[in-house]
Amino acid sequence: MKDSPILLIGKTAKTGLRVDQRLRALGYSTRGVSRSSSPAFDWEDASSWRAALEGTESAYVTFYPDLAIPAAEDTIRAFIALAKDVGLQHLVLLSGRGEQGAESAESVLMNSGLDWNVVRANWFMQNFSEGFMIEGIVEGELMLPAGDIVEPFIDIDDIADVAVATLTRPELRNRLFEVSGPRAMTFTQCVAEISEAVGYPVKFTQISIEEFLYALRDQGLPEEMLWLMNELFTVVFDGRNSNPTTGVEEALGRPATDFSEYLRKVTATGAWHRSGLLQQA
């Protein structure tokens, strides 16, 4: 199916960017779309969807801000109906592990009649280096409403590799791959390993969810994102996702990337250097 472009919804997102790079390296044509692309794609503007979909047969879909939000299921249902109408055949959906709302959206896809894949992922390792935690790392103190629950954080490079495999290997179609890292860790353990890797002291401090949400609200985060953060830390992050999975190995035939290898990759880029860190991330 190299004749028609593979649609990538969320082309500038953490996984979308990596999936695009990998597909192009393999010789596939891609059509990456976002609110700033041409054609533009906006989940909140259904009139923008058709132009993005027309002429494509397969798609990698990331939903913004997260499939866990209450509106996601109906939006995904409407999107899939249009996708079928314009001739899409195969849809790969990035989902979140342990999220009830996400599982409802997954079910819509699985029962749609399209060929499908779901890549259901744990928390991203890259949240420490490319996401909302990076400022705390460089300032020497990461403050989150998380205690001793362990999480097998997943390297986004693994997610991208699994997504590309599902998009390019027909024998993997119509399967759910639940992906995590190989080692379950607390935030305290993660931060201790980061501190050792970067060579300056970084500590983890547990705060209340109220303190966390107040700080985010003070930074101007919209209510939808505040709801999501509350859901992730008070519902999803309760230990339900603590056991590592075998999804990466099932899809790729190799083990998932360990946190230590992620640290090696990030420190090699200089992303956590205190001088100019936020500009490089």
Upper half-sphere CA count for residue 10 (Cβ side, 13 Å): 19
Residue 193 lies in a domain: no
Q: What type of residue sits at position 265?
A: K
Residue 178 lies in a domain: yes
Q: Which residues form the domain of 75?
A: 6-185+239-280
Q: In terms of Cα–Cα distance, which of 219, 181, 236 is closest to 67?
A: 236
**Where do the DSSP E strands lie in the chain?**
6-9, 30-33, 58-61, 90-96, 115-121, 141-144, 175-179, 203-206
* Count of other CB atoms within 10 angstroms of residue 220: 7
Upper half-sphere CA count for residue 130 (Cβ side, 13 Å): 17
Residue 165 lies in a domain: yes
Quick one: pLDDT at residue 205?
A: 97
Residue 161 lies in a domain: yes
Task: State the angle between helix axes of 209-218 and 223-231 in degrees (0 to 180), rounded to the nearest 10.
Answer: 160
- Per the prediction, the chain carries an average pLDDT of 94
Residue 133 lies in a domain: yes
Quick one: pLDDT at residue 1?
A: 46
Residue-wise pLDDT for 93-108, tens only, equals 999 999 999 999 999 9
pLDDT band at 2 (very low <50, low <70, confident <90, very high): low
Residue 208 lies in a domain: no
CATH of residue 65's domain is 3.40.50.720
Q: What is the mean pLDDT of residues 231-258?
A: 96
Question: Are the C-beta atoms of 163 and 253 separated by less than 8 Å?
Answer: no
pLDDT band at 88 (very low <50, low <70, confident <90, very high): very high
Q: What is the mean pLDDT of residues 8-18?
A: 94
pTM for the structure as a whole: 0.94
Residue 274 lies in a domain: yes
The answer to whether residue 123 scores a pLDDT higher than 70 is: yes
Torsion sign across C-alpha atoms 102, 187, 196, 216: positive
Quick one: pLDDT at residue 274?
A: 85
